[in-house]
Each structure stands twice: as structure tokens, then as C-alpha cells.
């Protein structure tokens, strides 16, 4: 069983998806699965993903019957994930080649539900617009919530995180995805 499932919700991103997939398959930590969720786009995104899947059996492609939008497309990917941890990667983003390895170094020795990692937000010309820096620190639930409320970082996104799959499914179970 893989240790981390990377989920790429895909809708009309053919100009970006190759870079995103390559950043996954070239990870220094190889024990991952890559789940590409076809959310019924009209471009060649899924054709590109299928070409990569022919060469790498860690890539799994699932097809939605209709366009479910981003939140529900991600959820469909999580449902088929075989790993205890999930990571979301939007196809216009990419991972540093050692991202999963660095995350696993922390995860393997600690009982962690949610791991944040640093990220850069780039402008269209690849110039750094903003840095997301997280302190190396473990929080109890109560302390984490206090920190969350006072921070200016993008804690609220689902990317730049590794999440215990079980925790994600519990959290999503608290909201209705019907109109999401």
C-alpha cells in the first residue's frame, strides 16, 4: 500500500497537467499513488494524463459522470485513495521533487493528522508573489485552533498539506456536498 495519495482534480488544464504529473512521478519518495480525477473537461487534459498512466502504474485515473466541481471532484479522488494520507495538488501547481520524502520523514515518527508545508505562490511569470512559511511545531487541537485564527498564512487552502484520509472523510461528512 502506498503511503501518500496525491489527488489531482482535473478540468481543462491541458497546458499545466504534464508539469504537475511529472512533479509527482519524479518524487524522491516513490511509495505514492497519483489519482487524476477527470471532472468532464473539454480539452486534452485526461488524454495527457492517460499517456503518463501507461508508463507509470502509480497513476490511477477516475472519471466523473458529470462535472462535479472542485470540492466534489477532490472527494471522489479521496474515496478511491488507498493510502492513509492524502495530498491535494491542483494541476496548475507542482511539487518540489523531495516534497513527499520530507513529509514522510515527519509523518513516520509522529502521530500526525495534518501536516502543513511551505509553499510559494507564483505570478504568471514564475516570480514569487507570496511565501507560505510554517514553523516546525506540533500543536494540540486547542492550540492549533488559536494559531489558526491569528495567522495570515493560507491555512484555509487544501494544498500545501498532508491530511490523514480518515480525518478528511470525517470532516467532509459534516458538510453537504450536494450543492458544493
Q: Which pLDDT tens digit goes with each residue over 110-125?
A: 888 888 776 655 566 6
Give the Cα separation of 39 and 36 in Å (integer): 9
Give the Cα separation of 172 and 176 in Å (integer): 8
Ranges of beta strands (E only) in 22-109 are 32-38, 59-63, 85-88
Give the Cα separation of 36 and 22 in Å (integer): 13
User: What's the pTM value of the predicted model, to 2 decimals?
Assistant: 0.85
Q: Which pLDDT tens digit goes with each residue over 41-96?
A: 999 999 999 999 999 999 999 999 999 999 999 999 999 999 999 999 999 888 99
Q: Which pLDDT tens digit goes with each residue over 136-158?
A: 556 666 666 666 666 655 556 67
For the chain, give every domain's residue range. 4-108+158-173
CATH 1.10.287.110 fits 4-108+158-173, yes or no: no
Amino acid at each position: 500500500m502506498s503511503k501518500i495519495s496525491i489527488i489531482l482534480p482535473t478540468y481543462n488544464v491541458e497546458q499545466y497537467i504534464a508539469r504537475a504529473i511529472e512533479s509527482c512521478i519524479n518524487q524522491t519518495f516513490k511509495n505514492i499513488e497519483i489519482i487524476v480525477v477527470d471532472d468532464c473537461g473539454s480539452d486534452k487534459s485526461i488524454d495527457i494524463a492517460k499517456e503518463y498512466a501507461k508508463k507509470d502504474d502509480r497513476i490511477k485515473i477516475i472519471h466523473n459522470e458529470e462535472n462535479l466541481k472542485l470540492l466534489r471532484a477532490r472527494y471522489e479522488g479521496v474515496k478511491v485513495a488507498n493510502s492513509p494520507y492524502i495530498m491535494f495538488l491542483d494541476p496548475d501547481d507542482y511539487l518540489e521533487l523531495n516534497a513527499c520524502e520530507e513529509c514522510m520523514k515527519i509523518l513516520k515518527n509522529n502521530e500526525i493528522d495534518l501536516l502543513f508545508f511551505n509553499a510559494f505562490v507564483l505570478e504568471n511569470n514564475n516570480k514569487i508573489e507570496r511565501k507560505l512559511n510554517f514553523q516546525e511545531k506540533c500543536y494540540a487541537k486547542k492550540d492549533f485552533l488559536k494559531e489558526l485564527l491569528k495567522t495570515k498564512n493560507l491555512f484555509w487552502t487544501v494544498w500545501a498539506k498532508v491530511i490523514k484520509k480518515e480525518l478528511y472523510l470525517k470532516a467532509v461528512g459534516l458538510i453537504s456536498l450536494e450543492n458544493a
